[in-house]
């Protein structure tokens, strides 16, 4: 699996890449969250509370609120990451595209 690119997320009906998604703060946050794990190498960039805080800080418009994540928050975000990645992969490759 390769990294997900927000520019390649396909439009909801037409199936063609839609670069407008690359500028949506929520989509950019979801893509960056999904890409914190590298399936090929097994590297995980979201192993600490500080890493979770850094992700939130980089995406303040899409993730408003206090920046004091706990270990429980980290566990929740890591659990959510797999679902987010699966949804984005499906959106990226749904119309006859190849899976990464």
pLDDT at residue number 69 = 87
* Strand-strand pairing, 37-38 and 43-44: antiparallel
- Of 11-15, 47-51, 82-86, 93-97, least confident by mean pLDDT is 11-15
pLDDT tier at 79, thresholds 50, 70, 90: very high
| DSSP secondary structure string for all residues of 13-33 | TT-SB-GGGGG-HHHHHHHHH
Supply the pTM of this predicted model: 0.71
Helix (H) or strand (E) holding 52: helix 49-58
């Amino acid at each position: 699996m390769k990294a997900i690119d927000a520019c390649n997320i396909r439009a909801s009906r037409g199936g063609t890449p839609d670069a407008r998604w690359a500028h949506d703060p929520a989509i950019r946050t979801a893509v960056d969250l999904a890409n914190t794990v590298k399936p090929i190498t097994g590297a995980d960039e979201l192993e600490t509370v500080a890493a979770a805080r850094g992700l939130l800080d980089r995406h303040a418009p899409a993730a408003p609120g206090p920046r004091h994540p706990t270990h429980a928050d980290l566990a929740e975000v890591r659990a959510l990451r797999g679902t987010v990645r699966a949804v984005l992969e499906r959106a990226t490759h749904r119309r006859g595209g190849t899976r990464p």
